[in-house]
Amino acid sequence: MEIKRSARACAAATFWNSVEVHSHKNRRCQPPFSVSIRQIFSAFATLILAGLVIVLGPSEARAASYGPFALTAGKSVTDGKLTLAMQADSNLVIYLSGVGAVWSTGTAGSRNCNSGCVAQFQSDGNLVLYQNSSPYWASGTGGNAGAILNLQGAWPFITITSGSRMMWNGPSGLIPDMTPPRRMGQNPNFVITPGKGPSHFPAKADVLSQHLVFAEIHPWEGTTQTDGFWSRWNETGHNPGIFDVVSLYWPKYGPYSMNNCGYIKHIGDDLKAAGVDVAAIDWLNFYPGEEGRVEAILQCINMPVVVMVDAEPAWTKSTWNDIINRLNIAVAWYARRTDLFPNYDRDPKTGSPLVIVWDPGSVGTAAQWASQIRWYKANIPEHPIFVAGLTNATGIPNFTKTALFDGYLAENGAAAQSQQIKNLNWVLSELGTAGRGEFLISNSIPTFEAAASCAGNYPVLARTMASFDQSWGGTIKAVWSGHKVQSAYVSYHNDGEDIGIEPVSYYSPLRGAGYASCNGKLGPGYLNYGSLSGTDYLVRNRYWVGQFKSTR
């Protein structure tokens, strides 16, 4: 199966009819700047620090290796290059000389460690953080007596091995939460009980009272450690076991699970740092365990969040009934149960929750959608705001109006900025003519790169900050008869499509021996992961958010 948004990119390109394609050849054949970094550590004999005793295991040329040990809060061990520190803020951190922090358990601030906190590598092979003998983080590697903890100056920085077996590596298990989110267990076929909605369909569209910036996040990713199986990362012939994942960029903390409450909170921190107002969960309903991960995000993310019900039947085989079933859950369960999902975003002026439907025209006619939305408006007291994300044949503003959606999420493609402005102005004019005052959300992305998802032809669109800037610029400058883009939309994740503002690792592994991504389609030029500039897209996005809001 080809990964879905690659086709979205093609559809957007057809719709806008003006796409710039850049060669990736030179950049892809160059290794990322950090790939060659290898810090060689000599083995310690026995270190005795104040409050710290470390018993060393067998030494390795590539790493410092340790048997059981304990580090109390405020204590650390270092060889001058690499430092493992149990901090008073309850976080266990690895620092690399000249670089700074390169790994952590992600537990900063989760406990009061003025007293009683300790990081303990136990004789059973489990690395555990305790506060007053109560565990609050663990590597999950117990039951492996004689295991060794290894520290090294390149990714993955920290591993636990038993003989020749790799039991755990830190980045793939970053921030595991000891208390997973509750599962609601709702009946997916429940029927909405009519409420006290308006007796007449509103003559005007329900609109947002604020100018917002949304960021799409994916509930698709799963890992063997958290979920018991790989999801998304291993698609189309990729093998995470040899550091080969479905992405052209190695995530900052390695492959992760969206069932991991701690990591979800980390994403919320990233998005807030990037100036994003609302996270939008792309519920595709294709990956195993996906609905559970949707609920994990809704419960764990530390910022406002909405749900996007994603159709795209060419990939997911979604039907009208499947889409309406998911929409019922989103509208009547997630958006209404404030006791269970308090972070679901509701307009501060009207209290209306927002729900996005991607590609509604692929599963139903405009008349079907108009009837369904009329029913929701009449029976849901909170009066939901419905936004249609549309591409290709259904990607015309007239569908939004005829189907009675309140807003239109337009994918702006990768055209030159002048063309993007022209396209958006046309959409604004269509929405502003004989409509109900529907609003426009414009999607600003750094451009699609379909190689890792094994879709399309090569070379792929080359990702540059300039393309990100021109897309944001088009969103900001578009105006027709005083009407402007109401809100903006970016993507967070890089998996498969590589279009997100997600931070990437400064220290990326090489895809390992036996690499055959895309079932052999990708050659040796893709052994190296791309070298974006760490968190630069978060910083740049925050700049554009400021520009966008200052011009509304």
**Residue 139, pLDDT score:** 81
Residue 53 to residues 48, 160, 266, Cα–Cα distance (Å): 5, 19, 32
> Per-residue pLDDT tens for 241-258?
788 888 888 888 788 899
**Residue 217, pLDDT score:** 97
Domain boundaries, the chain: 4-30+213-550, 47-153
Asked if residue 380 has pLDDT above 70, the reply is yes
**Residue 414, pLDDT score:** 63
Mean pLDDT score, 116-128 = 91
> Per-residue pLDDT tens for 278-293?
999 999 999 999 999 9
Q: Which residues pair with 251 in a beta bridge?
A: 504
| CATH 3.40.630.40 given to domain 47-153 | no
Lowest model confidence (mean pLDDT) among 11-15, 473-477, 540-544: 11-15
| Residue 532 DSSP code | -
Asked if residue 218 has pLDDT above 90, the reply is yes
For the ranges 54-58, 238-242, 435-439, 544-548, the maximum mean pLDDT occurs at 544-548
Asked if residue 87 lies in contact with residue 155, where contact means CB atoms within 8 angstroms, the answer is: no
User: pTM, whole model, 2 decimals?
Assistant: 0.69
Where is pLDDT greater, at 60 or 484? 484
**DSSP of 23-86:** --HHHHTSPPTTTT-----PPPS-EEETTEEEEE---BTTBEEEEEEEEETTEEEE-SSEEEEE
| CATH 3.20.20.80 given to domain 4-30+213-550 | yes
Q: Which residues pair with 66 in a beta bridge?
A: 56, 149
Look up residue 57 and give its two tokens. 């295991």
**Residue 490, pLDDT score:** 95
Average pLDDT value for the chain? 77
Mean pLDDT score, 502-513 = 77
**Residue 13, pLDDT score:** 37
